[in-house]
Structure 1
């Protein structure tokens, strides 16, 4: 793995959370392919047997070739598409069924892409949406019901469930929060997601 500091690694976190959620269709929306991020999804796909689609915005086919060359043999694990990520997530019969969507918040329309991902996943079987490079974006993430994680340049994480937006249904709804802990011996940081059922009112 080479030299590392004690900060959580963005690529490792993305790979682990995609694999941990058994993602079957992973869609990555970006303008420029970040090799480490793409390889994170490739590693997850090897574990889940899932597909990876990379939607490149504002580029042409020559840029796709450049991205493939940067990824080397791993490029064969990714399906590259040039187009409007927001529109494709809403209208394309395959992509709108994605259960894991990764969004580069450096995209000019990242907020619209995030909104489209939330709507399309909640209209199907639900899914997990992660935005990276989110730290310095001056927008309110509260409308998307996200959890902000201070990893790398900032991650925002949101989960949707089928037909129910970002929560469960009725008495089965669960509340969750992310916890960042530090190992006092090694100085390493660890991120955990804690989920607990909503307490029900007990009638006498």
Structure 2
């Protein structure tokens, strides 16, 4: 995966913010979009526990910034119909696949970004399948709704794992980078995003702030 692009991350973040129709209130979907676009992801594969929505829009926003494409794995045709209705015109920007995520993830060895809903059935096995299926050097695996899931599917010997206390929790794993911190949360510096609105012009400015001594943030 390419080096981090702050420009791509910022533009995707703002695009996702507008696509989500939440005005100027940021949410976890925008952070996901920034992570994917900032890493210049070209093939983004996501799994959902049910009907998809803001997180899919986040990847669409990232794909528009990077020129990539999005695949969404659903386990039911009922979820497919409902997801298309929820996404409206943006549904045509996503390639939907119906089936078992644990099996289908192996079909996307060239993917450089995986987004896993940790509320999915057997989430640990799905995360592990994404880890084992990712053949792209430096691929990112992001689990959302991970706040109460613990270390599920993490391998301290092979994966460098980060937990970000954003929304319901983001679990970030970079494939191919050995972890020096051991099992659990990385000891690297944490960062967070701040959105500032210019009261005079209405312009949005996004800053990524890194703290050398991170404190626990309650979402």
Structure number with greater Rg is 1
How many aligned positions are there?
A: 173
- Which one of 7, 12, 20 corresponds to residue 30 of structure 2? 12
Partner of 1:42: 60
TM-score of the two chains, using structure 1 as the length reference: 0.73
Superposition pairs of residues 1-204 of structure 1, within 5 angstroms: 2=22, 9-57=27-75, 59=76, 61-90=77-106, 92=107, 95-121=108-134, 123-140=135-152, 143=155, 144-160=159-175, 165-167=176-178, 176-180=188-192
Q: RMSD of aligned C-alpha atoms? A: 2.9
What are the ranges of 5 or more consecutive residues in structure 1 without an aligned counterpart?
A: 169-174, 184-188, 195-204
Q: Is the 8 A contact 1:147 1:177 kept in 2?
A: no
Q: CA deviation at 1:96?
A: 2.2
Q: Is the 8 A contact 2:51 2:82 kept in 1?
A: no
Counterparts of 2:209 and 2:58, CA distance in 1 = 19
Q: Is the 8 A contact 2:36 2:113 kept in 1?
A: yes
TM-score of the two chains, using structure 2 as the length reference: 0.68
Structure with the larger RCO, 1 or 2 (CA within 8 Å, 6+ apart): 1
SS at structure 1 position matched to 2:50: coil
What are the ranges of 5 or more consecutive residues in structure 2 without an aligned counterpart?
A: 1-17, 180-186, 196-205, 212-219
Q: CA deviation at 1:177?
A: 3.8
